[in-house]
């Protein structure tokens, strides 16, 4: 990983190995101390090294976090006792050097704490932003799925509405009625509020219920993709009629069974015709 890639990852909040963060903070801190020792103490090229040292602590904290910032502050404070001593002997300071060292000693921990807290808030904000974006994507996906489902239901109603001699109904995986065409309402006698969400087993005669015929037809459709059966069916109110019932398996986008299409044809009417 190049330095540019590492800085990009850190700035964007993407995860990076902790040791790389600490190593980068340490390199920045030592490099800054070296620059101060050369440019300020040796060459006198800069007038006030305190600002550079404080900026080093702030940069280390922002790049690597609060703990690395405190370590950077400790290194800077230790080095300041040497750098600000005159002439590089501990505990011998000029008035100006003493004032600068006190400023660094007080400001470094405060900067590490403030910048560390700011970094934590920035990281939390990035996490919340990512979660919000993920939630928006999920909402958009759900809206697309709902729109596709609405279009499919419209197509079903348009196609099934043209089948006057066939009662067509959509069942879920448990055999509950989800949708049906006007011919099913005329043939079986139930309105939409009465039948939607109800089991299709109420269309079967008592002897078929005792023999668990509705369950067996669903199992056959799941196993082979289709189930056909001719026998007595019940209208609302208990009226019987001879009908052929066909269940055709439906699958979702993953290929798993998601329900059936039930087609019921009145055999008595077809013989009369």
Distance CA 39, CA 47 (A): 9
How confident is the model over 223-261, as pLDDT tens digits? Answer: 999 999 999 999 988 889 999 999 999 887 778 888 898
Structure token digits, residue 131: 């979660």
Residue 20 has pLDDT above 80, yes or no: no
CA distance 246 to 230: 9
DSSP-derived letter for residue 257 is: E
Name 178's Cβ contacts closer than 8 Å, sequence gap at least 6. Answer: 169, 170, 171, 172, 196, 197, 259
Q: What is the pTM of this model?
A: 0.48
Tell me the average pLDDT of the chain.
77
Is pLDDT above 70 for 10?
Answer: no
Helix (H) or strand (E) holding 241: strand 240-251
Give residue limits of the domains in the chain: 3-136, 163-272
- Number of helices and strands (H, E) in the chain? 10, 5
Q: Are 253 and 238 in contact (CB under 8 A)?
A: no
163-272 CATH choice from 3.30.470.10, 3.40.605.10, 3.40.1350.10, 3.30.450.20: 3.30.450.20
Per-residue pLDDT reduced to its tens digit, 189-230: 998 889 999 999 999 999 999 999 999 999 999 999 999 999
| pLDDT per residue as tens digits for the range 111-148 | 777 777 777 787 788 888 888 898 888 888 888 877 77
CA atoms within 13 A of residue 33's CA, in its CB half-sphere: 21
Residue 203 backbone zone (phi > 0: left; psi -120 to 50: alpha; other: beta): alpha
pLDDT band at 66 (very low <50, low <70, confident <90, very high): low
* Residues recorded for the chain: 273
pLDDT at position 126 is 85
Which residue did the predictor score with more confidence, 12 or 227? 227
C-beta of residue 202 within 8 angstroms of C-beta of residue 264: no
Sheet of 226-234: strand order equals: 177-180, 166-172, 257-266, 240-251, 226-234
Do 230 and 244 touch, CB atoms closer than 8 A? yes
Closest to 168 in 3D by CA, of 145, 193, 200, 212: 200
Instruction: Give the integer Cα–Cα distance in Å for 252 and 2.
Output: 46
Q: Report the distance separating Cα 42 and Cα 262, nearest Å.
A: 92
Separation in Å, CA 197 to CA 169, 175, 264: 12, 9, 18
pLDDT exceeding 70 applies to what percent of the chain? 70
Could you tell me if 24 and 5 are in contact, meaning their C-beta atoms sit under 8 angstroms apart? no
Cβ neighbours of 38 (radius 10 Å): 12
Share of the chain above pLDDT 90, in %: 19
| DSSP 8-state secondary structure symbol assigned to residue 202 | G
Beta bridge partners of 244: 230, 265
CA gap 104, 171 in Å, rounded: 75
């Amino acid at each position: 990983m190049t330095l540019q890639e590492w800085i990009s990852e850190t700035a964007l909040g993407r995860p990076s190995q902790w040791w790389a963060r600490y190593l980068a903070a340490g390199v920045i801190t030592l490099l800054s101390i070296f620059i101060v020792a050369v440019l300020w103490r040796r060459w006198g090229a800069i007038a006030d090294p305190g600002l550079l040292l404080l900026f080093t602590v702030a940069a280390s904290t922002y790049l690597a976090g609060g703990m690395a910032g405190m370590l950077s502050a400790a290194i800077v404070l230790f080095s300041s006792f040497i750098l600000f001593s005159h002439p590089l002997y501990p505990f011998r300071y000029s008035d100006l050097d003493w004032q600068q060292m006190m400023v660094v000693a007080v400001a470094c921990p405060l900067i590490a704490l403030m910048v560390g807290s700011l970094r934590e808030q920035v990281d939390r904000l990035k996490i919340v932003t990512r979660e919000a974006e993920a939630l928006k994507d999920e909402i958009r996906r759900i809206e697309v799925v709902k729109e596709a489902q609405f279009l499919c239901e419209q197509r079903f109603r348009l196609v099934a509405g043209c089948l006057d001699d066939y009662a067509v109904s959509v069942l879920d995986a448990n055999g509950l009625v989800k949708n049906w065409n006007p011919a099913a309402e005329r043939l079986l006698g139930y309105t939409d509020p009465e039948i939607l969400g109800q089991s299709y087993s109420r269309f079967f005669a008592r002897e078929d219920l005792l023999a668990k015929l509705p369950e067996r037809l669903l199992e056959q459709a799941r196993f082979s993709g289709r189930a056909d059966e001719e026998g007595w069916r019940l209208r609302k109110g208990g009226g019987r009629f001879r009908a052929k019932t066909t269940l055709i398996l439906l699958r979702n986008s993953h290929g798993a069974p998601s329900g059936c299409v039930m087609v019921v044809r009145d055999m008595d009417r077809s013989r009369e015709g």
